[in-house]
Chain A
C-alpha cells in the first residue's frame, strides 16, 4: 500500500510539473491577444494556440478527476474559458464580414422579414392617407398632428408663395451648411429608427404608433400643399430622399415587429431561442437601416437644395427606390444558405 501511495503522490506532482509550461505559455499568448488582437501573434504562435488550448483542456479534465486542489482547477478552468472564446470566438477579418454582409447577408435578412415589412409599409401609408384626409376635411387637424417645431412655418394658413419658397427656394438660404444639415438629419433619423426598432420589444405596439405617426405627418403636410395645388410638387421634393428614408423607417419598424412577434409568439421554438434568432436577423436589418439613412441624409441635405426640377426629383426618388428594391428582392443565386 505504501508503494502505491508513493507512486500516486509522485504522479500528482509530476502532472503539474510536466504540464505547467503549457499552461504558462497559453496564459502569455492570451494576455497578448487580449491586449491587442490575434494579429499580434506570429504564424507559429497562432498555430500553437489551438494546440495549447486543447492541451490545457485535457489538463483540466485530468485535474478534475485526480486532483482536489481547487485553486489549480479554477485556474485551469478560467484559462480554458478565456482560450475557448479566442479559439472559437474570433471572427475572420472584419473586412470579409462587411463584404459578405453587403453581398448577401443584408438582402437575405431583409427578405426574411417581408411579412413584417408589408405590415409596416401598410401602416405608414394608411397613416399618410388618414393624415391627408383629416387635414383636407378640417385644416385644424394639422396643428394636432404636426408640432410647431416640426412644421417650420408651414401651416394651412401659409400662402402659396411661402409654401412654394420652401420647396423651390432652399439653395440660397441653406447652401452654406449643406453638410451640417445632412449630418444632422442622418443622426436624428438614425436615432428615431433605432428607438422604433427597440420599442418592438414592447410587443411592437409603440413601434406601430411611431410608424403611423410618421405617415400621419407626411399625409398632413401633403394635404396643406395640395390645398394650394402644390401637392405633387411637394411629393417630388420629399421623394429625392424620401424613398430611401421611408423605406429605412419601414424596415426599422418591420425589424421591431419581428422581435416583438418572436418574443410574444415563439411558435415551436423555445421563447429564448426564438427571441435570439429574431434579434440577430433584425440587428442585421438595422445595420442596413443606418446605412440607408446615411444615403438619405446625403440626398436630403444636398439634393433638396441643388435639384430644382420636378422631373429630376421624381427621377432620382424613383431610381433610388428601384435600386433598393432590386438590391433586396431580386434573386441572385444564393437560395441555399451558407
Chain B
C-alpha cells in the first residue's frame, strides 16, 4: 500500500543546501524506478520511430520526384538520429528535468552540487548511455562467440554500475555530475488535530496518559490515521487503550484522533520550550 506519509528516515535522503540557508531533503530514486522510466522512454522512442517509418512509407509514393524523395530520405535519417540521441537530452533540459518516462514514474535529474542543471550536465550524462546500454546490447545480440561473451561481461560493469554505489549513479551521472531523485507531488492534507474539534472535549486525558509517547510514535500514529485502514486503526486503538488504561467509548477513530491531538499539543508545546521528545524512550519534557 502506498502510504500518504513516507518512511521517517531513509538512507536515500540527501540534503540540498539552499542559498537561503534552509536545507531541503531530496531522495535518491531507486534503481527499479530508473529502469521503469528507461523502458517507458524506449517504448516512446521506438514507437515514434515506427510512426516516422510509417509516415515515410506512406509519403514516399511514386508520385514524388527524385528530389523530393531524397529530401524525405535525408529527413528520415535525421529524425531517427535525433530521436535516438537527443530524446533524453532535450527533455531533461526542460523545466522539469525529466523525460516522459521519468515523469511517469515521478523522478527527475538534478545537478549534484545543487546548482543549476546545465546543458553540459545533461549532454554528458546521456552520451555515456552508449557504453551503458547500446554496447552491452550489441554484444548480447551477437550471441555465442567467446569474444562476444567477454565483451558482454566487460560492458555489464557499466550497465550495472548504479547497483555498486549508494547514490544509484550511472556512469553518466558520475561524469555528468548529476543525481536522479524522486520528485513526488505532495498533497496538502487537512490537519488531523483539527478533526471533529467539537467531539474532542469528550476525551479528557490525564497528563500521565498523554506523556506516554514521543515524536516517533506520534508520527507513526499519524501515518495510521491518514492510511485510513480500518483494521490497522482498530489494532492500534486497542493497543493504546490498553497501554494508557482508557476504556470509554468504542469509536476507535474518534479516540485515536483525540489522543493524537492531545499528544501532539503536548509535544509541540515541549518544542516551543526547546525540548524535542524524539521517542517514548526520551524522558517527557
Which A residues have a C-beta under 8 Å from some C-beta of B? 4-5, 8-9, 12-13, 16, 20, 23-24, 27, 33-34, 37-38, 54, 57-58, 60-61, 65-72, 74-75, 77-82, 84-86, 88-91, 97, 176-180, 182-184, 186-187, 190-191, 194-195, 197-199, 201-202, 259, 263, 272, 275-284, 286-287
Q: Quick check: is B6 within 8 A (CB to CB) of the other chain?
A: yes
Interface contact B6-A194, CB-CB below 8 Å: no
Contacts A75-B189, A280-B120 hold; do A66 and B18 have CB atoms under 8 A apart? no
Q: Encode contact with A along B5-20: 1 for CB under 8 Å, 0 otherwise.
A: 1101000000010111
Taking A71-B189, A85-B97 as given, write out 12 further A-B residue pairs in contact, using a Cβ cutoff of 8 Å, ordered by the A residue number. Answer: A66-B272, A71-B186, A77-B25, A78-B186, A81-B24, A81-B183, A97-B119, A184-B77, A195-B130, A198-B129, A279-B174, A283-B121
Closest chain-A Cβ to B99's Cβ sits at a distance in Å of 14
Interface contact B265-A276, CB-CB below 8 Å: no
CA distance A313 to B269 in the complex (A): 85
Instruction: Please name all residues of chain A whose beta carbon is closer than 8 Å to the beta carbon of B28 when the two chains form the complex.
Output: none
Q: Quick check: is B48 within 8 A (CB to CB) of the other chain?
A: no
Closest chain-B Cβ to A177's Cβ sits at a distance in Å of 6
Interface contact B175-A276, CB-CB below 8 Å: yes
Contacts A66-B272, A68-B264 hold; do A272 and B81 have CB atoms under 8 A apart? no
Interface contact A57-B95, CB-CB below 8 Å: no
CA distance A77 to B176 in the complex (A): 26
CA distance A275 to B128 in the complex (A): 13
CA distance A85 to B118 in the complex (A): 12
Q: Could you tell me which residues of chain B, from 7 to 46, have a CB within 8 Å of some CB in chain A?
A: 8, 16, 18-20, 22, 24-26
Interface contact B188-A23, CB-CB below 8 Å: yes
Q: Is chain A's binding surface mostly helix, strand, loop or mixed?
A: helix
Instruction: Please name all residues of chain A whose beta carbon is closer than 8 Å to the beta carbon of B174 when the two chains form the complex.
Output: 263, 272, 275-276, 279
Closest chain-B Cβ to A237's Cβ sits at a distance in Å of 23
Contacts A72-B188, A280-B121 hold; do A33 and B20 have CB atoms under 8 A apart? no
Instruction: Please name all residues of chain B whose beta carbon is closer than 8 Å to the beta carbon of A27 when the two chains form the complex.
Output: 188
CA distance A85 to B181 in the complex (A): 12
Interface contact B24-A80, CB-CB below 8 Å: yes
Interface contact B188-A68, CB-CB below 8 Å: no
- Chain A residue with the shortest CB-CB distance to B86: A290
Binds A, one of B52-60, B218-226, B237-245, B248-256: B218-226
Instruction: Please name all residues of chain A whose beta carbon is closer than 8 Å to the beta carbon of B271 when the two chains form the complex.
Output: 65-66, 68
CA distance A13 to B265 in the complex (A): 11
Interface contact B112-A272, CB-CB below 8 Å: yes
CA distance A293 to B111 in the complex (A): 29
Instruction: Please name all residues of chain A whose beta carbon is closer than 8 Å to the beta carbon of B24 when the two chains form the complex.
Output: 77, 80-81, 84
CA distance A52 to B129 in the complex (A): 38
CA distance A23 to B71 in the complex (A): 52
CA distance A282 to B18 in the complex (A): 28
Instruction: Please name all residues of chain A whose beta carbon is closer than 8 Å to the beta carbon of B158 when the two chains form the complex.
Output: 201-202
Q: Encode contact with A along B107-133: 1 for CB under 8 Å, 0 otherwise.
A: 010111101111111011101111110
Closest chain-A Cβ to B54's Cβ sits at a distance in Å of 19
Instruction: Please name all residues of chain B whose beta carbon is closer than 8 Å to the beta carbon of A75 when the two chains form the complex.
Output: 186-189
Interface contact A85-B110, CB-CB below 8 Å: yes
- Chain B residue with the shortest CB-CB distance to A197: B127
Contacts A54-B20, A78-B184, A187-B78 hold; do A176 and B120 have CB atoms under 8 A apart? no
Q: Encode contact with A along B188-215: 1 for CB under 8 Å, 0 otherwise.
A: 1101111000000000000000000001
Instruction: Please name all residues of chain B whose beta carbon is closer than 8 Å to the beta carbon of A84 when the two chains form the complex.
Output: 16, 18, 24
Closest chain-B Cβ to A184's Cβ sits at a distance in Å of 6
Instruction: Please name all residues of chain A whose beta carbon is closer than 8 Å to the beta carbon of B123 when the two chains form the complex.
Output: 283-284, 286-287
Interface contact B77-A187, CB-CB below 8 Å: yes
Q: Quick check: is B177 within 8 A (CB to CB) of the other chain?
A: yes
Q: Quick check: is B4 within 8 A (CB to CB) of the other chain?
A: yes
Interface contact B175-A275, CB-CB below 8 Å: yes
Instruction: Please name all residues of chain A whose beta carbon is closer than 8 Å to the beta carbon of B105 when the two chains form the complex.
Output: none
Instruction: Please name all residues of chain A whose beta carbon is closer than 8 Å to the beta carbon of B16 when the two chains form the complex.
Output: 81, 84
Interface contact A201-B171, CB-CB below 8 Å: yes
Instruction: Please name all residues of chain B whose beta carbon is closer than 8 Å to the beta carbon of A60 when the two chains form the complex.
Output: 22
CA distance A60 to B20 in the complex (A): 12
Closest chain-A Cβ to B123's Cβ sits at a distance in Å of 4
CA distance A91 to B93 in the complex (A): 9
Identify 25 residue pairs between A and B in the complex whose beta-carbon atoms are under 8 Å apart, listed by A's number: A5-B265, A8-B265, A20-B188, A23-B188, A34-B95, A66-B272, A68-B215, A68-B218, A71-B189, A72-B191, A80-B22, A81-B16, A88-B115, A91-B93, A179-B73, A184-B77, A187-B77, A194-B130, A195-B131, A201-B128, A201-B171, A272-B174, A276-B113, A276-B177, A280-B177
Q: Encode contact with A along B255-266: 1 for CB under 8 Å, 0 otherwise.
A: 000000000110
CA distance A191 to B128 in the complex (A): 12
- Chain A residue with the shortest CB-CB distance to B8: A70
From the candidates B176, B185, B267, name the one contacting A279 in the complex (CB within 8 A).
B176
Interface contact B81-A198, CB-CB below 8 Å: no
CB-CB nearest 7 A-B residue pairs: A276-B177, A279-B175, A283-B124, A279-B124, A283-B123, A78-B186, A198-B130
Instruction: Please name all residues of chain B whose beta carbon is closer than 8 Å to the beta carbon of A16 when the two chains form the complex.
Output: 191
Interface contact A71-B226, CB-CB below 8 Å: yes
Instruction: Please name all residues of chain B whose beta carbon is closer than 8 Å to the beta carbon of A61 when the two chains form the complex.
Output: 22
Closest chain-B Cβ to A28's Cβ sits at a distance in Å of 12
Instruction: Please name all residues of chain B whose beta carbon is closer than 8 Å to the beta carbon of A12 when the two chains form the complex.
Output: 193, 268
Contacts A12-B268, A13-B194, A77-B24 hold; do A180 and B74 have CB atoms under 8 A apart? yes
Closest chain-B Cβ to A22's Cβ sits at a distance in Å of 12
Instruction: Please name all residues of chain B whose beta carbon is closer than 8 Å to the beta carbon of A180 when the two chains form the complex.
Output: 70, 73-74, 77
